[in-house]
Structure 1
Amino acid sequence: MLWTASEAAAATGGRAIGDWSVNGVSIDTRTIAPGDLFVALKAARDGHDFVAQALEAGAGAALVSRIPEGVAQDASLLLVEDVLTGLEALGRAARARSKAKVVAVTGSVGKTSTKEMLRTVLGAQGRVHAAEKSYNNHWGVPLTLARMPVDAEFAVIEIGMNHPGEISPLAKMAQPDVAMITIVAPAHLAAFDGLEGIAREKAAIFDGLEPGGVAVINGDLEVSPILDKAARAQTANIIRFGEAEGNDHQLTDVSIRDTCTVAQGVAAGAPVLFKVMAPGRHFATNAMGALGVVTALDLDLAMATTALGQWSAGAGRGAREIIALDAVDLSLSVELIDDAYNSNPASLTASLEVLAAAEPKQAGRRIAYLGDMAELGETEQELHAQIAELPSMEKVDQVHCVGPLMQGLWQRLPAHQQGRWCATSDEMTAGVAQDMGAADVVLVKGSLSMKMARVVDAIRKMGQSPAERDG
């Protein structure tokens, strides 16, 4: 049982109708489970329009600001003045009653993958709660908190932003014992006065630290002093991680393999050697940050390094899969690197480094499908074109570009690397079957607005289904 009617009413200041209890919290009738509390948020559609459907699907109750049309007056409801405010109050109450050690994570790149690393690492040492998706905004954070089981021993809360002033209130809601910043990089530049402005906003995560809390900071950044200053202002203990000398958790060697990354270094004075099942220097760096969180929580470092070997990248964030092109000859296949969820200069640089390290079989090539990077401000044209100068690009055989900004990169590429340029991902999908052959390694990446997942889907559709392969 997660919430009773009386507990939820006390937490929100609302009025409970009926004597109900719920074991989950949901905002989507498509994924709602029996016994969930349905939260009727207003987004693209008004959630009140779906309350009847949610109750019919087995919801234990609904959090509403009015009794919707078609819903019985005695239905199991929690009436509040405003649904989002009610959800926030529920999240705060969940945090207040919990004895869990809470870790908050933010950064321009790597928030979600690091959250999942921490889920894996902390889960090896206790009961851990974390959002199953990238729920890091004004409703995602309170939703994650409201779902936190009473018996959780650890909780990992991802916090994101698009504009100034968004992180601090979410951090104060989460009240973390440890707050980690993965990296500060050019992202959402259109809303900030340069990288320093982004750093100050990311550093606002320390505003919510509990007394005696720990700030885990990437110490390799140009703006690391800004993060340090903000942490000291909250009298936080500081753990720095990265490759530079002087970091408390220092990477001394990173080996990017075809399907994994092996790293070694020193963590709080102790030598460490670990592996993560995803290629990428950035994954090794964030894994060292995760070990910084382990140190901050005074947990077993050896168990943590072992657990890191069980972590792999998720869908849309660097996950790799083999697409069989022939039902009989399974050697005829392409390897897909699905990094289509989002993109900015830092994450694209890291992804291209992964592609460059990939080892195509036989005569396979390295191919990239790259979509526009959004919200980069006045320098967006040049930031796209500069990708052509990255050392890793020398190993990429062909680059297909999607969007008006990526046209600048496409035009700067030498002729032998120029693939196709299309205005939209839908146009690009039409030709993917002709773009590649057996043994190619293919990276797909772009900002979410570019819908590069459609290119991923088109590549997957080239493959044979398991049933066809079994035949």
Structure 2
Amino acid sequence: MEIGTPLWTAAEINATCGALTARPWYADGLQVDSRDILPGDLFVALKGEALNGHDFVAKAFEKGAVAAIVSETPKDVKEGDNRLVFVDDTSYALVRMAHHARGRAPAGIIGVTGSAGKTSVVQALRQCLALVGDTHSSIKSFNNHVGVPLSLARMPRESRFGVFELGMNKPGEIIREATKVQPDVAIVTTVGSAHQASFANVSDIAEEKASIFGALKQGGFAIYGIDHPYKDDLQKAAEKYGAKAVSVSVTDNADVYPVRMTEHHNCTCLTANVMGTLITYKVAQPGREWVLNSLLILAAVKAIGADLGHAALALASLEAEQGRGREYSLQLGFGEAKLIDDSYNANILSIRAALRRLSLAKTGKHGKRIAVLADMQELGSRSEEIHFSLIADLKKFGVSKVIAFGDQMAAVGEASGLPTERWHNPDASAEQLMQRLGDGDVVMVKGANSAGLSALVNNMLDLSKCDTLAPESGLQRAHGF
């Protein structure tokens, strides 16, 4: 990648963070993980509960870091090394850098939160806005007290647009991080029972999500989905903070809604009313959740002053992010199955969305729809109740079989009356699952990050590239499960 201007210079860090630097330098990138260092990067040595970044400064220098922001002399680095940049507190220095980067770029800023769909909306917005001008965004799920300031501090000074994800695990986190972002447009995708353990009820979660509107710059837009029972909470919050409210719905009248739409197994074609502007476009991802995502995206594009036509072009060629609904073909030797990789995290809303997507997928003549599900986490005392609410969805969306990694999902599958198997080790289950797939089957993988289902997916993809996978038996392999 060609670098036009440096991301950070020694002089800028000195002025921003009150740092002490022994020599001039400039950096093209910024990292807090020494494993990600590329030559020319600046390393910030953060102190965490489990790890201290100062222990990895020497490794960062070995990999080509031009400088490291530290609050003490690291081990294995000579005292007086002129690559060390001293500050009182490295975490606070990163926040100061974020604030400075937010102010120096002439960018329209969009903040995105919600119980489901945050990362998908952020990445799709990045693709839409990149057709208009230089666009910077959060990567992966960099949405917490480290990820948000890091993402801001990485924003190039010439950026025209910035898109940032905001997450939370407990009360007060959204407004804390949103205040750093200071968005011109704030999006709440939807509200549901994610992170229920830290909140008394879902209404409190809605209030926490809606607090992003409190960080909007004056005259900013509050864009929110209303296809849930907590839409009034979001509306009241938008009014409370004096935001320009924009409601979005897939099924009801709203400021942004579909006039007509046709759903297919691999896309949706629709005409939408976007705050008074009619636009016809295609979303290259199936399912109502992606229809909602696209409407939120178009609302934000219009609110930020970008071109809806360019956004529509980007939506027509979207590819799902890895672990968030990306589809793969699995070569079985005697035929082919389809894998839907939705292995990156799970809550009740995202699991329902994944099951709906599974129902839209085309199977072969004798193909089955297999749901590989791991238990959800952080649901507190309502965990069993929330898990069992999926019984109706398993029946509704035509699931043929459940493979459960976790006792609660196993109980859900059994209670639904579907053939259910309880498996225990995702990392060692790929060959077993591949051997049981039949030609034309579709398998969807979904679960909490802690379940490790991404390893199952990666191992299945590796096996798909081999031609030596032996079936358990000819009869079982030919007919799947």
Q: Would you say same fold, with TM above 0.5?
A: yes
Amino acid at match of 2:202: L
Deviation at 1:352, TM superposition (A): 0.4
| Secondary structure, aligned partner of 1:7 | helix
| Secondary structure, aligned partner of 1:294 | helix
Query: Quick one: distance in 2 between partners of 1:403 and 1:380?
Result: 12
| Secondary structure, aligned partner of 1:395 | coil
Match of 1:40 among 30, 45, 56: 45
Deviation at 1:381, TM superposition (A): 0.9
Structure 1 residues 125 and 467: alpha-carbon distance in aligned structure 2, compared to 1, 3 A threshold: farther
| Secondary structure, aligned partner of 2:170 | coil
Amino acid at match of 2:98: G
Deviation at 1:428, TM superposition (A): 4.5
| Secondary structure, aligned partner of 2:36 | coil
Query: Which residue does 1:425 correspond to in 2?
Result: 426
Query: Which residue does 1:358 correspond to in 2?
Result: 361
Larger displacement relative to structure 2 (387-396 or 84-93): 387-396
Query: Which residue does 1:434 correspond to in 2?
Result: 435
**Could you list the per-position Cα deviations for residues 76-131 of structure 1 after superposition, in whole angstroms to 9, with x for gaps in the alignment?**
12211111111111111111112100000001100000001100111111110012
| Secondary structure, aligned partner of 2:163 | strand
1:206 aligns with 2:213: yes
Q: How does 1:297-312 map to 2 (within 5 A)?
A: 297-312=304-319
Deviation at 1:133, TM superposition (A): 1.7
Query: Quick one: distance in 2 between partners of 1:161 and 1:254?
Result: 33
Query: Quick one: distance in 1 between partners of 2:96 and 2:351?
Result: 38
- Work out the percentage of aligned pairs sharing the same amino acid: 38
Query: Which residue does 1:410 correspond to in 2?
Result: 413
Match of 2:16 among 1, 6, 11: 11
Query: Quick one: distance in 2 between partners of 1:312 and 1:12?
Result: 39
Deviation at 1:23, TM superposition (A): 1.1
Query: Which residue does 1:257 correspond to in 2?
Result: 264
Amino acid at match of 1:105: V
Query: Quick one: distance in 2 between partners of 1:119 and 1:209?
Result: 20
| Secondary structure, aligned partner of 1:405 | helix
Structure 1 residues 144 and 467: alpha-carbon distance in aligned structure 2, compared to 1, 3 A threshold: farther
Amino acid at match of 2:17: T
Deviation at 1:426, TM superposition (A): 4.2
Query: Quick one: distance in 2 between partners of 1:87 and 1:467?
Result: 50
Amino acid at match of 2:75: E
In structure 1, runs of 5+ residues without a counterpart are none
Q: How does 1:136-215 map to 2 (within 5 A)?
A: 136-215=143-222
Match of 2:241 among 225, 234, 237: 234
Larger displacement relative to structure 2 (398-407 or 268-277): 268-277
**Normalised by the size of structure 2, how large is the TM-score?**
0.92
Query: Which residue does 2:347 correspond to in 1?
Result: 344
Deviation at 1:302, TM superposition (A): 2.1
Query: Quick one: distance in 1 between partners of 2:341 and 2:447?
Result: 10
Query: Which residue does 2:125 correspond to in 1?
Result: 118
Deviation at 1:155, TM superposition (A): 0.3
Question: Do 1:410 and 1:421's aligned partners in 2 also have CA atoms closer than 8 Å?
Answer: no
Amino acid at match of 2:121: T
1:63 aligns with 2:66: no
Structure 1 residues 435 and 256: alpha-carbon distance in aligned structure 2, compared to 1, 3 A threshold: farther
Query: Quick one: distance in 2 between partners of 1:200 and 1:17?
Result: 47
Deviation at 1:218, TM superposition (A): 0.9
Superposition RMSD in Å? 1.9
Query: Quick one: distance in 2 between partners of 1:246 and 1:152?
Result: 35
Count of aligned pairs: 462
Question: Do 1:276 and 1:312's aligned partners in 2 also have CA atoms closer than 8 Å?
Answer: no
